[in-house]
Structure 1
């Protein structure tokens, strides 16, 4: 069935190309030259490999989600569970092979004086996180004047952006801790005043002694803060 689809696509391309050659000879010659252009072919190949890789990763993640759901609900029978586990394991070598092909094409593109997507690494790739290099699929047509922004072309700039974001996140966390610290101090003061009033207006030596112990605990806690 897949072969039939490919044959239909090839026939359709041949028919359209023939029609273009009859209508616009110059455009047909330009298209023919583009088909022989090494850089264009490298770009097409790496885009295809990237799409294949994303499809395989999505399929693996979907199967893993089903497997985890089955473990949680115990709804999947042993035969189906074994089938899913086998399918997940079988996808890993195919994904690694596709990554290897992708990186091989990427190295060929490095010889050209143009922007190329980054090399992919297996570490963390299966997670499909938003900051994975696999999503970096830009094209020169996306940039006005053909000038590539530094955040895309320069690894040091990208690392600097990530570091700046981490610093900003840490600063926000410190501000949150300051607020919690202030709230905690306020709570301790209110608790202290409440207990102080209880023992102040209460009677009995044992009650006053208990208040002194409580006061020491509160004071030591404040010193630790």
Structure 2
């Protein structure tokens, strides 16, 4: 009985240990683009078909980072985004073809060794997902411990240095946090000092507007005697 309880404890402990820890909500960074180069095991991402395209019936838009043959790899299912116009114009023919063709089995792709990652990273992190025609990855809203995100100021908001930085989701003293981001994206438009104006005046004082008429009058007075000599 004790041995059975011990085995159950070890089993549930190992299952719990393999479950990735979720990160808290990512703080919003204004005027910055966010990208990632690697994703920890357990990460789920989803594709979105581009405008004018739709997912083929029965295909799945999601992918997941899993360990396959000791290498972290994305697991893909059948996914194809097809032109909505073509789909509507050939819908009866396409449905007939589906009934005639045997169902294809979904197979996980063979893991590819990424030479630019260390042996540890290859076991625990997936690289960039592959490109799907007429589709793009949707914004990821859920991250897991170990995720590193790269931030870069958008064009026009990169007036201050540094204009790029990283944040990492990590566990510190049992608490999961995002590391601080030492950057700020701004166009400095709100930092110019306001021009001072006199009380009751709608325009700032300008000495040049007074000097110019006086100079012109003085010049005319010098020219008139010379004309009549």
Please tell me the TM-score bracket, short chain as reference: under 0.3
- Larger RCO: 1 or 2 (CA < 8 Å, sep 6+): 2
TM-score between both structures, scaled by the size of structure 1: 0.26
